Structure 1
Amino acid sequence: MEESPLISVIVLCYNQENTIGRTLDSILNQKTKYSYEIIIGEDASPRDNTRAVCEDYAKKYPEVIHLLDKESNKGILKNYSDCILQSRGKYIATCAGDDWWSNEDKLELQVSFLESNDDYGIVYTDLSLINVDTGEFKIDFNRSNQKDMPSGYIYKELILENKISACTALFRKQLFLDNINLIEFKSLGFLMEDYPMWLELSQHTKFKYIPVSTSTYSIADGSLSNNNEFKKIEEFELNCNIIRTHYIKKYPLSDIDEAYLQRKLYKTLILRGVVRGDYKEARLYVKKIPTTSFKDLIFKIICSTPAVILFSKYLKHINCA
C-alpha cells in the first residue's frame, strides 16, 4: 500500500500561465525529509494556457502532483474545499499560482516545529513582496516594517488586523476538518478562505510566528494605473469587516464591538484612498466618521482640504496603507 505523504501543498490558480510554473518549481525544490504532495486546483482559466502548464507538470511529476479534474469556474472557496477533500497529508500548506516559496527550507522548518509542539496548530513566517507593476521588491517585509507579529492565542490580534499571509502558513489538517466549513463561509458572504479560517482556528489552537522569510507574495500597483483599484480595495476591506463582525458576535471581546470595527473600517479606507490619491473616494468615508474628539476634527479637516496632499506624501514616506 502506498504511504500517504505527511504534507499536502494546495495550489490554487486562475489565469496565471506566466507564473504557475515558477510556483510549482519553488515547491518541488523544497529540501525536506518529510514527504509531500501537490494538489492543484486550476479553476477553469478562460483566457490563457494555465491548465496546459499544470497538465505538463502533472505528467512530469505523477508521483507528487495531482491536478483536480476540470470543471466550470467554482470560485476560491469551493476550489479550496475540493483540494482539501483530495489531500492526504497530516499538514496543509498553500501557495497561490502567482506567489512562490523563496526559501527551500520552508516545509522542513515548519513541519519540524509542529511535530515537536503539539499545542500549536498553525505556524507562519515572514515574507517578501514583489510589485508586479513596478518590479519593486521588499525583502523580509514584517521585519523591515517593524511589525509586531503575534504568537500564541491571537484571536484579538487577528480581529484588529490579519497579519498572516496564506502562502507562509502551514497548519494541521485535522484542525481544519474539525472546525472549518468553507461552504458556510460562502453562505455568510465571505469572499476569502484564509482570514475567517485564522479567526475560527484561533479559538482552538496556538499560532507560532517564525521570523524567517519563506515566501514571496505578489501585489499590484495602485490606482494611478488602474482607475478601478479603489473599488477593489473597498470591496476587500468591506468584506474583511463582514468577517470581523461575524466573529465578534460569535466570540465577543469586552473592548471591541461593532461600532469600533465600523470606525476602524472607515479610517482604513480613508488612509488607503489618501495614500493613492483617491481623495474623492476617501472623503466619502471622512463624512461617515463621527467627530467625538479634537483629534477627530483635525483628521477630518486635513482629509477634506488641500492639506490632504501633504498628508498623502507623509503616508507614503512611512509606507502606510
Structure 2
Amino acid sequence: MTLSVVLITYNHAESIRQTLESIFMQKTNFRFELIIANDHSTDNTDEVIQNILSETPSNIEVKYCNHEQNKGVNNNFIWAIKQCKGKYLAFCEGDDYWTTSDKLQTQVDFMEANTDYAMCFHKVEDEKQRVVENIENREYKDSEIFNNFLVQLAGVVCKNDFSEEDFKILESKDIHFIDLVFFLILANKGKVRGLSQKMSFYRYEQNSITNNKKSINFYIKQLNHLRFLSKIFNGKYAVYNKNRIKLQAYKIFRYYVMKGNIQAIKYLRIYLKR
C-alpha cells in the first residue's frame, strides 16, 4: 500500500462530511487506505460517516472504527497510526479538509523522488482566510519546527517508519501537544521539506486544545510538556526551552501564591533553577 490517510474524529458531525469529501476527491495514480478513528463521539458523527461511506471511490480502502470508549486525542492518534499499512502517512482531522484534488499525488511524488526526506508539509489556510504559516519551498531544520510551530497536521505527508521507542515517546503522559512531538520524531529521522502550495484548510474548534480558555491545569500540563521536550533526543531542545519553562513556572507560582497554596514553593524552585 502506497499511502494511509489517518482521520481522527470526535464530535465532528457538522464538518466530517466535508472532510471525507475532500479525501474522496483526491486524484492519484495509486490506491490508498483511509483509517477513520471515531473516538466514541457523543453526537451523530458515526451516522454521518456511515451514510457517506457508500460514496467511497474504488481506489480507496476504508477501515472505520467507532471506539466503544473514549481514548482521548493522543491515544486515538497513536492507535490510528498503528493500524496503517501504507509506505507513507497523510492526515486530515474531522474538523479540517483538503482544498486541492492533487494534494496527495503532489506530496507522494516529492517523497518518492527524495528518499532522504522523512516528511514534507505545505501551507494551510484557516477559516478567516489567513495562511497559518508562510511556508517556503525549502528544507526546514528541526529547530525551526520546534521554535516556530510551522507545521499543521493537515499539511503533512511522511514516511511510515516508527519504532517501539518512537511510540514510547508518543505515549508519554507528559505530552500536551502530540503534533509537535510527532514532527520532531520525523525530523530526527530525515530531512523535512516545506512546500509553498496551499492545499488544506484548518478550523479553530471551540473545544480544541489550542483554543481552550487557559486554566491553571492548562499551564501545569504545558509546563510538564515543555520539561518533557527538554529531555527527549538527549536533551537537544533544552536550550530552546529554558525561558519557556521559567515563564510557565512563574505563572503557576503566582497563581498558587494568590491562593495561599503551599504548591507555590514547588514552582518557585522550578523558576529559580538554572
Q: Does the TM-score normalized on the shorter chain lie above 0.5? A: yes
* Superposition RMSD in Å: 3.4
The one-letter code sitting in structure 2 at the alignment partner of 1:231 is S
5+ long unaligned stretches in structure 1: 131-135, 270-287, 291-321
CA distance 1:26–1:156, change in 2 (3 Å): same
The one-letter code sitting in structure 2 at the alignment partner of 1:248 is S
1:166-185 equivalence runs, <5 A? 166-174=153-161, 176-177=162-163, 180-181=166-167, 184-185=169-170
Could you say which residue in structure 2 is the equivalent of 1:151? 139
* CA displacement 1:258-291 (0-9 Å, x = unmatched): 5323246589x9xxxxxxxxxxxxxxxxxx9x9x
1:205 offset after TM fit, Å? 1.0
Identify the match of residue 252 of structure 1 among 235, 239, 242. 235
**8 A Cα contact 1:19 1:98, kept in partner:** yes
Determine whether 1:83 maps to 2:80: yes
Determine whether 1:215 maps to 2:212: no
* CA displacement 1:47-95 (0-9 Å, x = unmatched): x110111122334438522102532111122222222222221111111
Could you say which residue in structure 2 is the equivalent of 1:21? 17
TM-score, normalised by the number of residues in structure 2: 0.78
1:16-165 equivalence runs, <5 A? 16-46=12-42, 48-61=43-56, 64-130=61-127, 136-138=128-130, 140-143=131-134, 151-152=139-140, 154-165=141-152
TM-score, normalised by the number of residues in structure 1: 0.68
**In 2: Cα distance, 1:205 partner to 1:254 partner:** 17
Structure whose alpha-carbon radius of gyration is higher: 1
Q: Secondary structure at the match of 2:215?
A: helix
CA distance 1:238–1:101, change in 2 (3 Å): farther
**8 A Cα contact 2:40 2:67, kept in partner:** yes
The one-letter code sitting in structure 2 at the alignment partner of 1:43 is D
1:158 offset after TM fit, Å? 2.7
**In 2: Cα distance, 1:53 partner to 1:124 partner:** 29
Q: Secondary structure at the match of 2:14?
A: coil
The one-letter code sitting in structure 1 at the alignment partner of 2:92 is C
The one-letter code sitting in structure 2 at the alignment partner of 1:142 is E
**In 2: Cα distance, 1:170 partner to 1:241 partner:** 29
In percent, how many aligned pairs have the same letter? 24
The one-letter code sitting in structure 1 at the alignment partner of 2:120 is V
